[in-house]
Structure formats: C-alpha cells, structure tokens
Amino acid sequence: MRFEVLTDIGRKRTVNEDGAAVYTLPDGTLLAVIADGMGGHRGGDYASRMTIRLMGEQFMNIQLDQLKTDEDWKEWLLESVFYVNRYLFNKASADEQYKGMGTTLDAVLIRGSDCQIVHAGDSRVYQLNQKDVKQITKDHSYVNVLLENGEITEEQAANHPQRNWIMKAVGSERRIDPDLYEVDLTEDTFLLLCTDGLSNKLDEQTIHKIIHADGTLREKVVQLVQMANKMGGEDNISVILIGPDDMEVKQP
C-alpha cells in the first residue's frame, strides 16, 4: 500500500487543529490516523496532536505475536481509543486550559487485504473503487442523527446552525463508544480519510473524479486540499489517501 498525508490550515483559521499520520510496522501492517480537534483555548490543537501521537505510540509498541485474529486487533483498536480518551479526559478535567476539548478520530488498520476502522466524530473514511465512492463511516453529528431519523432534509442539514455539533468525540466524556467497521480491500481500492474541512466542501463525485484522474497520489491529495481551499477554506483540511501499490513500480 502507498499513502499520502496532507494537512492544511485552510484559509481562515489561525491554528491547525487537525492531525494526521500513517504508521507502519516492519511486517507491513499499517495504521492511518486522522483527528480533528476542537474546543477550549488550546484544547483542540492539543487533543488532535496527542491523539495522533498516542495512537502511534501504542501501535509501534505492539507485540505482534500477541495479536493473531481479527478479534484481537479489533480489541487492540478499541483499547487504544479508550486509552487516548481517558488520557485526554483526565487532562481536560485537571487543567482549565483544556476544558471542553475533544477530537474526532478515524484510525484505519490495514493488514493485507483486511481493513478495520475505528471511528468517532465527523471525520470520514471513504472507500473508492474504479466505479464508485462509498462513505464507510457514519457522521456522529447532530444533524446526521436528525437526518437519519427523517426529521430534517439534506438541505436543512447543510444549513443547520448546529451542523458543527458532534455527538461523539475522543476526550470529551469519560466513556466513549466508537464505531467499528471492517472493509475488504481489493486491488483497485483507494481509502480516503479526511476531516470535515474537505468533506464539507467536496461532494463524492468531485472526490471520485480527482482520485481517479491521472497523477501521483501526492498530486491527488494536493489537488483535494487545493479544491477545498478554493471553495472557501474556512476550516482546517486534512487528508490521508491510501492507494494500491503501483503495478508498474512493483512489477520489475
């Protein structure tokens, strides 16, 4: 698998509260983490930064011989999120400066063609094939719940004054109950992790078009971010694009 990570402050904000990173183990196991921090004076920046770092540390310290089945890995993912949640929540409770902080979190674990995703908040993971694009994660946002319950329309959701309210965030409450997803990767699967700085600006068709256009992974992520900035760039924009190994490079 190849990947590209790009995080951009956007055009309006003075702080980048997003964080994104990809970690790999010697056996090729890969963990991609993206986080969109929020709240408090310094909290947002701290929450996302710490989440990326702590998830990375946990991952790098894995004893591979202890994790065998999918179930073990799932367990590990959840435990890691619980750990980060506790860490941030305690910090927020103890230090006034960090009160009210929290962060979205999407962590994508890839082992071969197995892919497990842990999710909290309104950052997204998309799965893209040649043909179509599919949003895997469900936004834990206020408006999304209302939308799913048929209380509001897509249009009302897009203009809802509380569209920035999210119902689940790492570090904001003592307990967290993240969603878990499993995806089978095929040879032409791209995975896109992004914060709402991107997904609020680009619809699925546009994303699909950019990702399936010619060009390197790097060019694609740059173009995604540029496009979001062109549309206003009010928020921080972060993307991780994971693509299949380039046949031509691999073949020789």
Partner 1 sequence: MIGRRIGGRYEVLHSIGDGGMSKVYLAHDVILDRDVAIKVLNYEFANEEELKRRFLREALSATSLTHPNIVNIFDVGEDGELHYLVMEYVEGQTLKKYILEHGPLSPEQALPIMRQLVSAIANAHHNGIVHRDVKPQNILMDAEGNVKITDFGIAMALSATSHTKTNSVIGTVHYLSPEQARGGMATKKSDIYSLGIVFYELLSGELPFSAETAVAIALKHLQEETPSIREKFPSIPQSVENVILKATAKDALHRYRSADEMYEDLLTVLEPERAQEEKFGIPYDDDQTRVIPIIKEKAVREEDHEVTKKMEPIQPATPAEPVKKKRKKWPIFLGVSIGIIALLAALLFIPGILRPKQAIIPDVSNMNEVEASDALVEEGFVIERSIEQPSEEIEAGNVIRTVPEAGKERDVGTPITLYISTGKEKIPMSDYVGRDFTQVANLLAGYDFLSIDEPIEEFSDEDPGTILKQDPAPGEEVVPSETVIAFTISKGKDMRTLGDLRGLDRNQLKEYEKSSGFTIRDAGSEHSSTVQEGHVISQQPEKGASLQKGSLVDVIFSKGPPKKPVKLHVRTIIIPYEPEVTNQPDTEEDEAETGTETEQPKPPQTVRIYIQDRKHSIKDVFVEFTITETTKRQIQIELEEGQSGAYQVKRDDEVIEEKTFSYDDE
78 near partner 1, judged by CB under 8 A: no
Nearest to partner 1 of 101, 241 (CB atom): 101
**Crossing angle for the helix pair 204-211 and 217-230, to the nearest 10 degrees:** 150
Largest CA distance in the chain: 57
Q: What are the residues whose beta carbons fall under 8 Å from the beta carbon of 185, sequence distance 6 or more?
A: 110, 113, 114, 115, 191, 244
Left if phi > 0, otherwise alpha if psi is -120 to 50, otherwise beta: which for 232? Answer: left
Residues in the interface with partner 1 (CB under 8 A) total 39
Nearest to partner 1 of 5, 143 (CB atom): 143
Nearest to partner 1 of 19, 39 (CB atom): 39
Subset of 19-58 contacting partner 1 (CB under 8 A): 36, 38-39, 41, 44
14 near partner 1, judged by CB under 8 A: yes
Site string for partner 1, 188-227 (x = CB under 8 A): --------x-------------------------------
Q: What are the residues whose beta carbons fall under 8 Å from the beta carbon of 173, sequence distance 6 or more?
A: 89
Q: What are 158's two structure tokens?
A: 């897009």
Which stretch, 61-69, 73-81, 139-147, 213-221, contacts partner 1 (CB under 8 A)?
139-147
- Give the Cα separation of 177 and 206 in Å (integer): 32
Site string for partner 1, 142-181 (x = CB under 8 A): xx-xx--xxxx---xx-xxxxxxxxxxx--xx--------
Q: In what order do the strands lie in the sheet with 190-194?
A: 2-8, 237-243, 190-194, 124-128, 133-135
Local structure of 16: helix, strand or coil: coil
Shortest Cβ 141–partner 1 spacing (Å): 8
102 near partner 1, judged by CB under 8 A: yes
231 near partner 1, judged by CB under 8 A: no
Nearest to partner 1 of 97, 205 (CB atom): 97
Residue of 207, 195, 194, 192 lying closest to 242 (CA atoms): 192
Note the residues at the interface with partner 1 (CB under 8 A).
12-14, 36, 38-39, 41, 44, 100-102, 104, 122, 142-143, 145-146, 149-152, 156-157, 159-169, 172-173, 196, 234-235
